[in-house]
Amino acid sequence: MRGAIWLALVLLVSCSGPPQRSHYVLVSQAGSSTVAVVDPVQGRTIKRITVGGLPHRMVLNRDKNKVYVVLVGSQAVAEVDVQRLLVSRTFLTAPVPERRSDGSLIQPHFEQNAFTKTSCFTCHNPGGARPFIVGERPVGIAFSSDHSRLFVSHIRQGRLSEIDLGRAEVVRAVNLPPSGSASEAADVARVGSRLVVALRPRQPSTEASAVRWLDEATLDPLFEAPTGSDPAFMLPWGEGALVSNFESDTLSLHVPGSSPKSYTVTPGPLGLLAVGSGKILSLNYYSNAVSLVDLASGQAEHHRLELGGRVFVNPTHAALSPDGRRAYIVSSGTEGHLVVFDLERRQAIQAIPIDGLSFDVVVVPR
């Protein structure tokens, strides 16, 4: 009898697949200057970590013990300790300015010793100096090949900065030459030993943007190709990079030496997530939907984000669960939700409340 019970338990476990590894989901919440720590089992936010102004893109390091958060409104990157769930360091992504655009001296920067700070959020925060949103608007972030440095792109000046994590400072910065009217560095990714930067015109615009490849070691330009007017996100893919073109409702695959290949999705593609077997999940902001795209065949399935008769609006980014079966999708409306999307059934199965105007998401071990 005991042997029969034991055999039944073994069969039950083997049929149910590998156990789901314990994890948290971190969400950057631009509206509240925080990163939410979401427990997907409890279905709720268990902690909010104040990081700085307009937290957007996030990347997890190779050891999975640090998350780096781009602070668009504070000209900085925040380092979040995954085990302690707190900010361990911040890094400026560009120098604190001495003068305004009209040439006048910014006296408070001298009086308050702002040049020693590691984030503009120290002074420019909801209860502090005005304006709240300041600086060069860092947006894109990527690790170097050895993960010892971060590359950060800035929209305002088309700047690309390199942060040495050991020295905790910017060690190199370049202002990227424009490509026609495309002068804003909207995103950066790394593919092998090359960096890929998306340059866009000042928005709104219908003029072409550019995808430029750089040598990681020298930052010298290698080649570039045109893309849609508003490239929003770049995902490394093999030897190339997949770009979401926000205003033209397309994804474009850029591989050196080949013409870009285009895929049509529903309006407003923003974040992209690799979901296995050569497929990509595109988060389509304007259409409150996702597209599951097979890059080999070019076929795409489109699915509205809805559950129980409710539509979840403005999806931005997504992260994969450790077992690869679900996507955690940020619905960034004024009432925010983290939507759990079953990739096999192609439907939302859970919606966890988060702050409105949230943006990016990463999965971290507990």
If you ran DSSP here, which 8-state letter would residue 207 be given?
A: S
Question: By the 8 A CB rule, do 323 and 20 touch?
Answer: yes
- Cβ(176)–Cβ(197) below 8 Å: yes
Asked whether residue 32 carries a pLDDT value surpassing 80, the answer given is: yes
Shortest CA distance to 58 belongs to which of 74, 78, 38, 44?
A: 78
Rounded to whole angstroms, the Cα distance separating 112 from 228 reads 43
DSSP string, 271-307: EEEE-STTEEEEEETTTTEEEEEETTT--EEEEE-EE
**Residues 55-90 pLDDT 10s:** 999 999 999 999 999 999 999 999 999 999 999 999
Q: Where are the domains of the chain?
A: 274-366
- Measured from the Cβ of residue 49, the count of other Cβ atoms closer than 10 Å reads 21
pLDDT > 90: percent of the chain: 91
pTM above 0.85, yes or no: yes
Mean pLDDT of the chain: 93
| Paired strand residues for 29 | 34, 358
Report pLDDT digits (tens) over 171-196.
Answer: 999 999 999 999 999 999 999 999 99
Residue with tokens 């990527």: 142
CA dist 318 and 333 (Å) reads: 15
The pLDDT tens digits of the residues spanning 279-295 come to: 999 999 999 999 999 99
Mean pLDDT of 314-340: 97
